[in-house]
Amino acid sequence: MNTVEIAAPDRLGPLRHFIFELTALVDRTGDERLLLSYGAKLLSELIEAEAWLPASHAEPDPERYRQYLLYADPAGRFSVVSFVWGAGQSTPVHDHRVWGLVGVLDGAELAERFAFEDGALVSLGSERLEPGAVDLVSPSIGDLHRVSNAHDDRASISIHVYGANIGAVERATYDAEGGAKPFVSGYSPAPALPL
């Protein structure tokens, strides 16, 4: 008797499609407004897709949030990263220095924006981002924020897209007085995805 093996569905298909479409967008334009608006639509589609994020890139750490590289454009024009927040974890106030998109995949996040006024760092308020929400950051529209897991009893996951290989960009965290401390984030260890 002949048997036919049925191939497993392409789990990474939604991510591959997103990368293809975003690459085409970046090829067409350098206009940040278009990258943010159309990129947000593409990211919304990705985070609405079912079960595409591998467990290896969704693992929380009990000590600090994780930043897993999903894809880095070979020309350095953008990167796609999964952020995994353990219960109650948060970032310090930080900048990005490039355009960025943040889409909540699972759980919820609190995004608190900041600005400098008269040399002092001031909060502009916070917003709770639920699954499916997409937030935008950029030096031109507001680049300082602190992000927290809105849940104190479970992990939250978001997909971030940045206009550079964000793990290699020198950025800064800021203390309450607005003092800057340079850092380069790098990435949490995980196997390369077969893209």
Q: Could you give the domains of the chain?
A: 57-183 (2.60.120.10)
- Asked whether residue 6 carries a pLDDT value surpassing 60, the answer given is no
pTM: 0.94
Q: What is the pLDDT of residue 119?
A: 86
What is the band of 9 on the pLDDT scale with cuts at 50, 70, 90? low
Residue 87: both structure tokens together: 């219960």
Name the H helices within 8-147. Answer: 13-28, 32-48
What string of DSSP letters covers 39-88? HHHHHHHHHHSSS-S-GGGS---SSS-EEEEEEE-TTSS-EEEEEEE-TT
What pLDDT, on the 0 to 100 scale, is given for residue 3? 47
- The more confident residue out of 87 and 4 is 87
**In the predicted structure, residue 28 carries a pLDDT above the cut 80:** yes
Is pLDDT at 56 greater than 50 in this prediction? yes
Q: What is the pLDDT of residues 133-190, one digit of tens each?
A: 999 999 999 999 999 999 999 999 999 999 999 999 999 999 988 999 999 999 999 9
